[in-house]
Structure 1
Amino acid sequence: MMIAPIDTSRMTLDDLKQAALADLTLLGYPSAPWLGDHPRPDAAEIADAIIVGGGQSGVTIAAALKWDGLRRVRVLDSGAPGSEGPWLTFARMEELRTPKTQVGNEFNVVNLSVRRWFETRYGQQAWADLSRIPRTDWKAYLDWYADVFEIAITNHCEVLDVAPHGDVIAVTTRLDGKIETSLARTVVLATGYDGAGAWRVPPFVSDTLGPEKFDHTNGPVDFDALKGLRVGVLGHGASAFDNAIKALEAGAASVDLCFRRARLPRTNPHRAVETPGMMTQYPDLSETTRWDIARFFRRADQPPPVRSFETAIRFENFTLRPATPWLEVSQQPDAIRVTTPDGDLEFDHLLLATGMDVDLTVRPELRTLHDKVALWGDRYMPQEGSADARLARFPYLDGFYGFIPKNPHETWVGRVFAFNSSSFVSHGPHSTSISGHKHAVPRLVRGVLRRLLLDREAVILPELKAYTAPDLPIPDDFENRLIAANRQAASAPKIGNQAKRGGV
């Protein structure tokens, strides 16, 4: 029997929100609150969880925690309202890299899915014709998703430190120029790709040129200022191509995209790990296997998106330069001179798609934490020939994305969870990405709930003994009254039997 698809042609996004809420109600959302108040002499308000970052991971985690009965979940984000995450800032691709069928933050609720959202907005045929989800539509969907779950984001909020405060965590923030401290039982760092460090500008560039002469592609770029200029791009990934396209569209005289490899990668090995088994059980693999996989991805890398590559090479003033590492950069009177093995190139401005340095010390929120968390270099000794100084600087996370303290006595460290690029070695290269949410978010949530439950272990039995919510709608003296009635009945004369014994 054919099942007709739901007609979304007459629905609005508000109608879809109500349909999603109805689905959630049928599935028991939200669970009943189960975590009592945290008593404190100063009567300070304490969040069950503070999530640092209001992007795709932050709102999905907040929704999952609310579903599991946490009432006090706060989300903090440094960006302006509507600009959370990279989608309207430094992400400059036209569409997502993730296949449209591998999005998994809808908890198997169809009316929460990006597909149903897209069909409601544009029609079912538009989804059928879609190859990848447009970047700006993905952000608009995330905003709608947060609205469904009533996730309030505190914007313009810069997290300056995460540190112990008695038996809870203190999160120090700057909000509207004012320094504040908020308390939480747990903290989740959903701070994205640069959560384990900072975007890297090679010293041979930053030590030689003035800051007005170059930009990192994962930061702000004034593309209008590149009109008529010769632009050099270093890097071969998605960010390199996307920024090259933006420069060309803004009227750059030319763009040369240079990279060290002799050829671009042809396949994307990330797709090979997007399986339920790998994504859900990855931290159960041996240390050696996880380390070697991380080393493989470092060497193999991934190609630029097909659409970005094809768009870039259609520009006549775009030049692709493989096997062209930059050996030296110098400022000349009328140009930036870049020395390569095949000679010098001259540019007016540089765009550096050079990725991220793993350096916990540069993260403001890790000011207290950075030297207290165990790193892979502290816990794992690579086999001969497999050492990697960069991988050794990544945090060694537990099976639930929690930091592990270097000093076992500093147990507060385990109340902080790193759902960001810090998980690259421990949980795989893809776990906190869009396609990883379906499998990774439940693991993180289990870790948060586990920590909160263990914190309450001493009061569980007393609370069970004090539990008085009635299930049977009968008075407290029902049994006493029943016993009295039975006794009265037992002592009453048995008239019928006496009559029988008397021969009646």
Structure 2
Amino acid sequence: MIISPITATPATLNDLEQAARADLAALGYPAPSWLAPLEGHPAGSVADVVIIGGGQSGVTIAAGLKWEGLADVRVLDSAPAGSEGPWLTFARMEELRTPKTQVGNEFNVPNLSVRRWFETRYGLAAWAELPRIPRTDWKAYLDWYAGVFDIAITNDTHVLDVAADGDLIVVTSLCRGSVTRTLARAVVLATGFDGAGAWRVPAFISDGLDRRRYDHTNGPVDFARLKGKRVGLLGHGASAFDNAIKALSAGAASADLCFRRARLPRTNPHRAIETPGMMTQYPDLSDATRWQIARFFRRNDQPPPVRSFETAMALPGFRLRPATPWLEVTDSDGAIRVTTPGGVLEFDHLLLATGMAVDLSARSELKTLAGRIALWGERYRPPDDDGDERLARLPYLDAFYGFVPRHADDAWVGRVFAFNSASFVSQGPHSTSISGHRHAVPRLVRGVLRRLLLDQEHTILPALERYASIDLPVADDFEARLATLGTEAAQ
């Protein structure tokens, strides 16, 4: 679908921004700041909350926290300005998988919605005809959304560690060559799908091939180098299909998409559990049920987006190879030989859609946290036939995305919240997705507010006793007039 912006786009979007801000003001945004000052810390020296990650989750959480009266919310992101999230980097699909009506970061304010943004930019008819939101438009909308809430993102900032500093959290980061330490009352990790580990390729491939012969699909790929080459892809998800399309569009001679399963998944189980009840109350399910749901998703997975599948299947040179696991990969006289149960395939380059390895130690921001947080493998023992080593390595989070300490003397970890792939078992496979924001972000925000309120519980009564806001205006001679009235009444 080809869409073109209507005329005067900058002006009309600016009008929409002003309308959205007027709506927010009418609803009391932002709430007055309510946190008690910290003794021994000058004003402005400690952030209320530091959010690590400025993508779709990071900006939505920042907006929610500001709405609830947290005035100093700082957002850090490792990417250059304008490149936050995957949308302009390794996300290569034409449109989002999420149905256009299930986006939920607008807080029930129509003028904040992607629908109103899209209609303003392209016209009412364009939205009506739109099957799903284009990827690049989603990123443009997120940038506009952050602007409405005045969310400033500190870019090119790589977080090196998150640790305790007395009763606070210290975030150590590297920004343009300078190391900085930022104190915060709480920290939110909005670090996306790889927030619990790292993108990695299987060792039998990386050990046997020159690094220049393969790429992980969730990283940079120089598709121009693939012109005229035979490309082998491993994986069956959206990333595999999207990268096959990009390779063939760049002139690759062929793209063989290989995967272990006998057939592609046909249904998307995410849609089955994206109900208000499941979305809002998921952490209240038993450990056994949450574990079994995670296991179900691991066994069944989801199909690639329909548009990606149909586009790939229609391209000359594309071959779908189900039931084709790779057993061995070697370099033989310039050709990459891939041994499969059905024989040997030869390629010139590999694109590996092999996902993320769960490895908390691979994340720099978890350097101190990794050994101090409880894991699912430590808190729940599944039946023998229902074990899963990958899931067992994920953090066991509390009901509000907070880390749970492994030992009581590390209670500080409860002021760090994991709104990323680390929440897969604890909060469900849907909560940090676009369609989950409507229900999950308010829970995360409540958790942060709860933690900060409990941290300052000892200040509540003294502050209450000092409270001196006069609701009833009185004249200087009020007491004398009362006395006069009392005398007259007695007579």
TM-score, with structure 2 as normaliser: 0.97
Do residues 316 (structure 1) and 316 (structure 2) align? yes
Residue 138 of structure 2 corresponds to which residue in structure 1?
A: 138
1:43–1:278 Cα change, 3 Å? closer
- Contact kept, 8 Å, 1:100 with 1:131, in 2: the verdict is yes
**Structure 1 residues 299 and 51, CA gap change in structure 2 (3 angstroms):** same
Aligned residue in 2 for 1:3: none
Is contact 2:239–2:353 with CA below 8 Å preserved after alignment?
Answer: yes
Listed as ranges, the matches of 1:30-69 within 5 Å are 30-40=30-40, 45-69=45-69
Q: Deviations over 1:449-469 (max 9, x none)?
A: 000000111110110010011
The SS at the match of 1:12 is: helix
CA distance in 2, matches of 1:336, 1:209: 8
Deviation, 1:48, is: 0.5
CA distance in 1, matches of 2:42, 2:24: 37
Is 1:265 aligned to residue 265 of structure 2?
A: yes
1:368: Cα distance to partner?
A: 0.2
Does residue 353 of the first structure (1) align with residue 356 of the second (2)? no
Offset, 1:483: 3.2
Give the corresponding residue for 2:424: 424
1:92 corresponds to which letter in structure 2? R
| 1:11-410 matches, cutoff 5 A | 12-40=12-40, 45-410=45-410
| 1:159 partner amino acid | V
Equivalenced residues, count: 485
- What SS does structure 2 have at the residue aligned with 1:410? helix
Alignment partner of 1:481 is 2:462: no
Structure 1 range deviating more: 207-216 or 95-104: 207-216
Code of the aligned partner of 2:120: T
Name stretches of at least 5 consecutive residues in structure 2 with no aligned partner: 1-5
Shift of 1:487: 4.9
Q: What is the TM-score with the length of structure 1 in the denominator?
A: 0.94
- CA distance in structure 1 between the partners assigned to 2:178 and 2:355 by the alignment: 32
Residues 227-251 of structure 1: per-residue CA shift (max 9 Å, x gap): 1111100000000000000001111
Q: Give SS of 1:51's match.
A: strand
Letter in 2 for 1:386: D
Structure 1 residues 468, 381: CA separation in 2 closer, same or farther (over 3 Å shift)? Answer: same
Residues 236, 264 of structure 1: 8 Å contact kept: yes
Other structure's SS at 1:169 match: strand
CA RMSD, Structure 1 to Structure 2 (Å): 1.6
Q: Which amino acid aligns with 2:83?
A: S
Pairwise CA distance, 1:8: 11
Whether contact under 8 Å (1:8, 1:119) holds in the other structure is no
CA deviation vs aligned residue, 1:58-79 (integer Å, no higher than 9, x gap)? 0000000000000000000000
Q: How far apart in 1 are the matches of 2:252 and 2:73?
A: 46
Aligned-pair CA distance for 1:39: 2.1
Distance 1:68 1:484 in 2: 45
Shift of the alpha carbon at 1:486?
A: 2.7
Residue number in structure 2 paired with 1:4: none
Contact 1:255–1:318 (8 Å) recurs in 2: yes
Question: 1:198 corresponds to which letter in structure 2?
Answer: A
Shift of 1:472: 1.4
Matched position secondary structure for 2:204:
helix
Does the residue aligned with 1:81 lie in a helix, a strand or coil?
coil
Judging changes above 3 Å, is the alpha-carbon distance between structure 1 residues 8 and 282 closer, same or farther for their aligned structure 2 residues? farther
Report how far residue 9 of structure 1 moved. Answer: 9.7
> What one-letter code is carried by the residue in structure 2 that aligns with 1:345?
L
Q: C-alpha distance in 1, partners of 2:431/2:319?
A: 34
Amino acid in structure 2 at the alignment position of 1:210: D
Q: Which has the larger radius of gyration?
A: 1
CA distance in 2 between partners of 1:53 and 1:169 (Å): 17
Give the distance between the partners of 1:418 and 1:309, measured in 2 at CA: 32
Separation (CA, whole Å) in 2 of partners of 1:487 and 1:188: 60
- Once residues 315 and 384 of structure 1 are traced to their aligned partners in structure 2, the CA distance between those partners, rounded to angstroms, is 45
- Checking the alignment, whether the CA contact within 8 Å between 1:8 and 1:124 is kept in structure 2 is no
Q: Is contact 2:36-2:456 (8 Å) kept?
A: no
Specify the code of the residue in structure 1 equivalent to 2:78.
S
Change (3 A) 1:211 1:475: farther
Q: Which runs of 5+ in 1 are unaligned?
A: 1-6, 495-504
Q: Letter of the aligned partner of 2:451 in structure 1?
A: R
Partners of 1:119 and 1:356 in 2: CA distance:
36
Alignment CA distance shift 1:306-1:262 (3 Å): same
Alpha-carbon distance between aligned partners in 1 of 2:397 and 2:126, rounded to the nearest angstrom: 41
- Aligned residue for 2:75, secondary structure, equals strand
Q: 1:373 to 1:472 in 2, by over 3 A?
A: same
> Is the 2:106–2:112 Cα contact (8 Å) retained in structure 1?
yes
Residue 3 (structure 2) aligns with: none
Counterpart of 1:352 in structure 2: which amino acid? L
State the AA in 1 paired with 2:36: G
Q: Please, which moves more after superposition, 444-453 or 11-20?
A: 11-20
Cα distance, 1:26–1:41 mapped onto 2, change above 3 Å = closer
- Taking the aligned partners of 2:314 and 2:348, their CA distance within structure 1 comes to 22
- Paired position in structure 2 for 1:453: 453
User: Match of 2:447, as an amino acid?
Assistant: G
